[in-house]
Amino acid sequence: MSDTHSQTVAYVRDSMLPEKSPPSNQVGAIRWLRENLLSGPLNIILTILSILIVYVLVRAIGPWLLHSIWNAGSLSECREILNGESGACFGVIKDRWHQLIFGFYPPEIYWRPVLTFVLMLVAIAPILFAGVPRKMLWFSAIFPALAFWLIWGGTIWFTICVLLGFVVGYVAFVLLRRVSDLFAVIGAVVATVLWWVFLSGPLSSELAQILPLKIQHVKSHELGGFTVSIIIGVTGIVMSLPLGILLCLGRQSDMPLVKWISVGFIEFIRGVPLITLLFTASLLLNYFLPPGTNFDILLRVIIMVTLFSAAYIAEVVRGGFAALPRGQYEAADALGLDYWKAQRLILLPQALKISIPGIVNTFIGLFKDTTLVVFIGILDPIGLSSAIRADSNWNGIVWELYGFIALCFFIFCFSMSRYSQYLEGKLKTDHR
């Protein structure tokens, strides 16, 4: 008999045993391993297989990465340094990174695209995150014009005159609203377009002569690399979301003409591959336009990419609308809201929330599709990588270049994906 129970009756235990630490296979890493990796025969086999695969991969890539050469002017120089061993020749990235990122942009003004990129992050912050002060939206509104001026350069008056077009449109809207709302919208659009076509050009050249505020002009063909990818991708994304929503509303409209146009547009665009549209933009348009017309190729591509992804966005958003219970529509009607108010306040917020994953999916696809422009001779990162490999110094290099490009694309696409998950979490109001 132990002395623990010396004062008590033999068969009743009234004092606690001291706590023992849990068995060693139920704590910490061992428990995690047991539960997650070795919880059954199948999982054990899978774990072993995975370890084997990881081992093989590390064996294959590890030495290659470890022996990477950063200081070499050509592939043959790399091979000399490596002396028969396998190793990555990242000298090509060191030698050509500026081309992969900026294309043929004049090196002395690399700060301009960099500044534009930083400002872009500032401009989209208030759109993406609710915590940022709302007043910054004003900056987001003028950012597109600012970005255009920074990247392409030239006189600032042109940009200002174009922005004045919106002011003109607004003034026309306010003046005509006394007549009728519809009239005001049409009048505003017509006034803006007339201003752009007839007045902004001469006015900006007049102003430029009085006070020449200009920076070095950069032509579209000098842009390349990730600068082009980001310009096409971001502009396409920003323009295609509103256009897609409008198309989706048009498709659900009761007005036959609007409905047929929207359906026709969506089905036509979804029925042809993007590469066909790009070829149309680059080749066919040349035949339609009068000879000597210089319709910027980058602009043509942006328009085509925007239209393409707008058609997909429209269908994704329509999926969101389809998931709304009928009662939401009826509630909006019962509140006496007109069409636009019902859409803006009740239906669209819910439909868009539901379609976030689909929308971001389309955006990521759009961003990656920008690499297709290589087929019409625009030197995006992929196009530049083949141009770089055509240089005698770097002919024959493959993995290093494509790896670098893949890494950059991954960073962009992964952050888009993470943001969409954050947004979904934030807007989570479902009743699951």
Interface with other proteins (CB under 8 A), residue from 388, 405, 409, 420:
388
Of 19-27, 180-188, 245-253, 395-403: span binding other proteins (CB under 8 A): 395-403
C-alpha to C-alpha distance for 82 and 90, rounded to whole angstroms: 12
Would you tell me how many other CB atoms lie within 10 Å of the CB of residue 310? 25
* Interaction between residue 99 and other proteins (CB under 8 A): yes
Asked if 219 interacts with other proteins (CB under 8 A), we say yes
Please tell me the chain's helix, strand, coil percentages from 3-state DSSP, rounded to the nearest 5.
Answer: 75, 0, 25
If binding is defined by CB under 8 A, does position 293 make contact with other proteins?
yes
C-alpha 47/C-alpha 371 separation (Å) is 37
Residues 117, 119: Cα–Cα separation, whole Å? 5
Q: How many helices (H) and strands (E) does the chain have?
A: 20, 2
**Cα dihedral 343, 345, 351, 354 in deg (nearest 10):** 170
- 7 scored as a contact of other proteins (CB under 8 A): no
Complete DSSP assignment for 188-203 = HHHHHHHIIIIIIHHH
Contact 95, 75 (CB under 8 A): no
244-283 mask for other proteins (x: CB under 8 A)? Answer: -----------------------------------x--xx
C-alpha angle 272/275/280, rounded to 5°?
85
* Contact residue for other proteins among 286, 322, 323, 335 (CB under 8 A): 286
From the list 299, 323, 406, 411, which residue makes contact with other proteins (rule: CB under 8 A)?
299
- Candidates 208-216, 302-310, 331-339, 404-412; binding stretch for other proteins (CB under 8 A): 302-310
Residues 121-160 that bind other proteins (CB under 8 A): 144-145, 147-148, 152, 158-159
Report the SS3 class of residue 11.
coil
111 touches other proteins by CB under 8 A:
no
Distance separating alpha carbons of residues 362 and 420, to the nearest angstrom: 12
Smallest separation (angstroms) from other proteins to the CB of 23: 53
Q: Interaction with other proteins in 312-371: which residues (CB under 8 A)?
A: none
239 binds other proteins (CB under 8 A): yes
CA 430 to chain centre: 27
List interacting residues with other proteins (CB under 8 A): 75-76, 79, 95-96, 99, 103-104, 107, 144-145, 147-148, 152, 158-159, 162-163, 165, 196-197, 200-201, 219, 221, 231, 235, 238-239, 279, 282-283, 286-287, 289-296, 298-299, 302-303, 306, 374-379, 383, 386-392, 395-396, 398
